[in-house]
Chains A and B, each alone.
Chain A
Amino acid sequence: MDVIDQRTITTVKEAVAARSDGALLSVTQPHPDTLYFAIDKRAMPAVVDGLVNEMRARFMISVGTDKRPVTGEFAILHLFSLDREHLYILLESPVAEEDLRIASITGVVPGANWAEREYRDAIGVHPEGHPDPRRLLLADDWPEGVYPLRRDFPYNYQPPPAENVRPQLREPPAGASVLPMGPFFPVLEEPAYWRLFVEGETIVGCDTRIFYNHRGIEKLGESVLTYNEIPYLAERICGICGFIHSTCYCQAVEKAAGIEAPRRARYIRTIMLELERIHSHLLWLGIAGHIIGFDTVLMQTWRIREPVMWLCEEISGNRKTYGMNTVGGLRRDLPNQIKPKLMETLAEVEKEAIAVRDAVVGDTTLHARTKGVGVLTNEWAKKICTVGPPARASGVAIDARIDHPYAAYDEVPPQIATQEAGDTWARVLVRVGELLESIRLVREALSAIPEGPICAEIKEEIPPGKVGVSVVEAPRGEAVHFVLTGGDNRPYRWRVRAPTYPNLQALPAMILNETIADVPITLGSLDPCFSCTERLETIDRRTKEVRIYSRADLLEMSRGKARRRGAP
């Protein structure tokens, strides 16, 4: 791992001390790459301004914590990253119960918009001077003044039913009409409501309401589950990048508790993470094709993707949601005899992925639909703090694997590719490049993987009050998990920020003055994942009977009906 420059740490400390104007309460360094400042809340905007505009720090997320049982106060924490210096900066301000207000930083960092609304909804600390203080997280029929992430709020509370409630949505400008996209719409696999203001076919503005599916996962982690149960819940945050969330959570706890996962476990995590990126990018390429009516791309990329899923099933027992991660390492080893098959499948996938890339890159109609469409400027990408491929396609060279190396990326570093154009085509190119790079990474990790244990032995209980910040570069961008350890064998606060959270906030600027036809592909080019962002899950508990269907059974079920009608 890159050593953090001691001079950087001194510079940051001095800058924060200078800007806080005597309001600095304490400075600690809970982990070599983490600086933790406690400052008085009146100095917060000035310090943030200094960090962002002078130190080029990137805002990641805000965490609102109800610390009343410990300190008697609430705490608002803003998390920043100094990407080049591999450093996390945590700024925390206590907020007294008598005065539940803190100055908003959205004016300084536009990307903090949702994060501030979220802590307001969750614990009831009001960001003063916020430009758009409407509800974000809570449902429209949720009662006023009830804050779900406060410690005295029971996890299984059910609010009374409400009637005649509707989201507060903006009205279109004069002369424009409303075209609703959502809450259920063909190209959105999950619910999200985009209220497009259109003049003819041209978009002149939009408003949005999402978080229809908030699942209260963080609350469950803080109140019901224990450290070693949460990885399974974290994995279910997303149906595509589940392993990313479980890895990110485990790493955060390991960091907080000072546990070092064994090298072999780190390599296996790297391999699984990259396999996930391979199948996720193939999935995305197919969906992007489908959005602009190019179903051949969808069918072919998903066919290519399928062997990767089978491989994951052979390694973990599941196509998705592997259940391999645990605090301290892994529960399941990567069998050595699978290596030849892995290599073989990768070679096949690589060959076909290159064929698809060449077909896609040379398709002029595809250029017509994606070049210059949905442009995210470099300046706005930085302001809104976008991450992952959308950021890299706009010339922002950030990648968690390089900036905050985790797992085995310090020994098998990726080559990251950036594009400058910032349009949909650039995002296609970035992802196609990453797809092939991931295949290389898996190969390299496989050949360098050491023998040894896969899980660290944890002898002592995890002490309370420790902080751990971890990032993982998901296919969609950087996922962030923040853990504050607590007593009774569970986190006191667990904060998840999925990559789509910042990326979606960039959409309104990207679709302005585009046509209706360009909105779905522009949204699609962000590779949005609402379940990550909102953290939802549904379970069918009707049938208790267990029957295992083989692949042949399922194919027979889907084809049998057609065959009975006389098809071949």
Chain B
Amino acid sequence: MTASFVTVFLPCLLNVVLALFLSPLCEGIMRKLRAAIHSRLGPPITQPYWDLLKLLGKEDLRSTGGVVYASLPALTLGSLLLLATLVPMGTAAPLAFAGDMIVVLYVATMSGVLIMLAGFASASPYASIGSSREMMMLLSVEPILAIALSVGAFKAKTLALGGIVNWQVQNGPSISMAIGGVAFFLALQALAGKLPFDIAEADQEIMGGSLVEQSGPRLALFRWAIWTKQLVFAFLLVEVFFPWPRVGIPLLDLTITMLKVLVVLMLVAVIDVVNPRLRIDQAMGYFMRVAVSSLAALAFAVIGK
């Protein structure tokens, strides 16, 4: 009992706390960078925390009733925290014994589907257009995640994420994993809902899409979920595709990983700032091409590169 508490529960808690409390900070840093490129002073990097606090303190207004609708924000955030325990973040994934890559892929999809449901359930034409766009984005991006992770699985001959990471650490960089990493990074831009792929929210077109009817604490949880999502996926990218250097001292490894995650998120923010929004058909075409190109990674993996 005590042993499992130390080896399972504590690392789980660590991952959840990291994901939950670092994600607003990362968002704050991204906003600051955005402001710098805009020639603005920008909000303080702690602003996202204040945003959450303020929203959490507001009245809970709902456009429709029902238990499912009421629980969607918490479920969305919860699904991402569950994902956080399945993803290695500086150390091995704490819940690795409970699920492999396939489970990760399923859990990763959950948050998108839940936000989509929230949109369809909120009975607003903007939200339902946002949700249908979200669905199209999800369908275009999921295959890329699957292909990119499969490359790792193929090379390491295991479906366990921990196994892939270990194989990567031992064998060093390879062409196939590099291509897979780039494809995963492009998908990350869409998963984080950043430009040029913030199509499902598109303030200027559909006023925030799926989340248009959300406010107060519900909006706070959805926002928090989206920020957590970008952080957890950045961790996944860094750990699976670029895990080096690994020194073996947990605290140092964690710090290095977090620095790398920050670099990835900065890149995401820069791409966000220097691009206008694509139309949904253009984005789907783009991801179709990315998916086809990422098949090249699989081909390289087959010939052992």
Residues of A within 8 A of B (CB): 177-180, 185-187, 200-201, 289-297, 299-300, 303, 363, 365-366, 368-369, 515-520, 559, 562, 565-567
Contact = CB atoms under 8 A, between A and B. Distances in A.
Contact of B206 (A296, A299, A300, A516): A516
Contacts of B203: 186, 293
A515 B281 contact: yes
A178 B125 CA distance: 8
B275 A517 contact: no
A180 B125 CA distance: 8
B39 interface: yes
B280 interface: yes
7 contacts: A201-B129, A292-B204, A294-B195, A296-B37, A368-B278, A517-B279, A520-B205
A517 B202 contact: yes
Interface in B195-228: 195-196, 198-199, 202-207
B173 interface: no
B41 interface: yes
A559 B204 CA distance: 27
A365 B202 contact: no
Interface in B32-54: 37-41, 43-44, 46, 50
Nearest to B129: A516
A505 to B, nearest CB: 23
A516 B205 contact: yes
Contact of B204 (A180, A187, A200, A366): A187
B102 interface: no
A520 B204 contact: yes
Contacts, number: 87
Contacts of A179: 125-126, 129
B128 to A, nearest CB: 9
Contact of A201 (B40, B46, B280, B282): B280
A296 B282 contact: no
B277 A369 contact: yes
B273 interface: yes
Contacts of B279: 368-369, 515, 517-518
A296 B204 contact: no
Contacts of B281: 515
A200 B125 CA distance: 11
Contacts of B276: 289, 292-294, 297, 363, 365-366, 369
B273 to A, nearest CB: 5
B40 A293 contact: no
Interface in B124-161: 125-126, 129, 132
Contacts of B273: 295-296
A290 B204 CA distance: 8
Given A293-B195, A303-B39, A515-B279, 20 more contacts: A179-B125, A186-B207, A201-B280, A292-B277, A293-B198, A293-B204, A293-B277, A294-B275, A294-B276, A294-B277, A296-B37, A296-B273, A365-B278, A369-B277, A369-B279, A515-B280, A516-B129, A562-B43, A566-B46, A567-B43
Nearest to A369: B276
Contacts of B43: 562, 567
Interface in B1-57: 37-41, 43-44, 46, 50
A302 to B, nearest CB: 9
Given A186-B207, A292-B276, A516-B206, A300 B38 contact: yes
A516 B198 CA distance: 15
Contact of B38 (A291, A295, A559): A295
B295 to A, nearest CB: 24
Contact of B278 (A303, A369, A567): A369
Contacts of A517: 199, 202, 205, 277, 279-280
Given A296-B38, A517-B280, A562-B43, A365 B275 contact: yes
A386 B46 CA distance: 49
Contacts of A300: 38-39
B275 A565 contact: no
Contacts of B204: 186-187, 290-293, 520
A144 B203 CA distance: 39
Contacts of B277: 292-294, 369, 517
A210 B177 CA distance: 56
